[in-house]
Structure 1
Amino acid sequence: MDILQLGAALDRGQAYNPTSGEYYAGTMARARERVEKLVATNKVPTSLDELEGEWELVLSTVPHGIFRSSPFFLAVQEAFQYAENTTAFGEDKANLFFKLHELQTCSWGVSKVGRVAQRFDKSTKMCYSEFDTSIFSLTVIPILGWFKLLPTFGGCVVTAASCELKEDGVLDMEVDYTTSRPVEGLQGLGEWIWKVKVPVGFLWKLLPWNKGRPASCKATQAFCDENFRVARDIDGEMFVYTRPVVPRPLDLNPK
């Protein structure tokens, strides 16, 4: 209950942003403490059977975007480890990238991250990471008017990755593709957009700085029971998921 309350108070972790200031730092510290206490019970999953099904993100300790729970961004994070210089302007390159990405996409109300979720299919050994995004949700000129200048539109971005659970709860993943799906009540760009499938795994190897390496990543499943799951990235940041109260069907093969 503490974790759920702190997740709500922190807007799943988005309310604490070191780029903006240190306010809510104490609340985030308390949230970390509570999650670490849960992890200390040492209930680590041993098979994909325990991960099977749908999970929704309720709290993240990572700064600069809860979208970073996606295998795509985890792969970006790990790819920077192979760079000749891992820092820039006195900061870790991966964190700098995520900070700039957040500033570019979330400033001025251009876009907003909604539901963030993952689902596992043990039969195919696939992980599907989802996050809803709405664009132009806040497009009003302050003081001068109260009407929206542009309509709100968007959808659910889905990243598919193969996965294998190793010892000590380490989940190895390799990104296959990214696509999108409609969200009820949210206007899309047209029916064509839902049929687009970007072969990220194939294109990743062609990029010269990746030198043929796959879009691979790992996240330690530090805790898992029938209701809660805690994943930890390579920097030690944590993502807390729960089973959804309102499950969402996911159509991976639209007509």
Structure 2
Amino acid sequence: MLELDKIVLKFKADDHELTALKEISLHFETGKIYVITGPNGSGKSSLARVIMGIHRPGSGRVIFDGEDITGLGITERSRKGIGYAFQHPARFKGLRVADILEIAMRNGEHNDCHYLSELGLCPEDYLERPLDASLSGGEIKRIEIATLLALNPRLRIFDEPEAGIDLWSFEQLIEVIGASHRPDTTTIIISHQEKILQMADQIILLEDGAVSLHGPREQVWPVIRDSVRCACRQDCSRGGMYYVNCPR
């Protein structure tokens, strides 16, 4: 399905160069759920954006279904079946919620009300609303996730889908993402939420722009759980230490 071959990504920062990703090589199989986790600043979102074509790597290759798509942009990758839900979704002046869902659902199996309802948004209250600042962060986040689900891509990337979501909506979100995953799709989720990590077939731990651990959830999760400190009801990273949510 997807192969990353020695991906290197660098950014210019003032008078120096920052290496965000350091020769990342990964293989993603069809039908599996992958969760990429790690401390803040470890390169998780940068890696997701390289896959989607938002960032162009300085070296390395992105291969999708055996085709080198490194040089393709977002639109071309979307046409090939790759979809992305941003950590902080954009707002589109002049578009309604119904407009963006109508565009997405052309490739989907459900009507424009299905995923809104599944994510706790009443279609009657939201379809005619503009995608502007009148929507809260949690609302626009759920609308974008609903749009990605309606788009029905073969490779789905969710960048911290829990960001800005209340606890009740978070539980719904997990159920919907899990239920919508199919044997012919690949799901990549950027997250450090324990409940999302427990959904994974494979967990990838990034630290300082490099893969430090990768394997089946059953093998990786105990290593992460036993070697990190637990901060109840908050997620943070301090001094390179990685924190996860405590059980309630």
Give the TM-score category using the shorter length.
Answer: under 0.3
The structure, 1 or 2, with the larger RCO (C-alpha pairs under 8 Å, 6+ apart) is: 2
TM-score normalized by the length of structure 2: 0.28
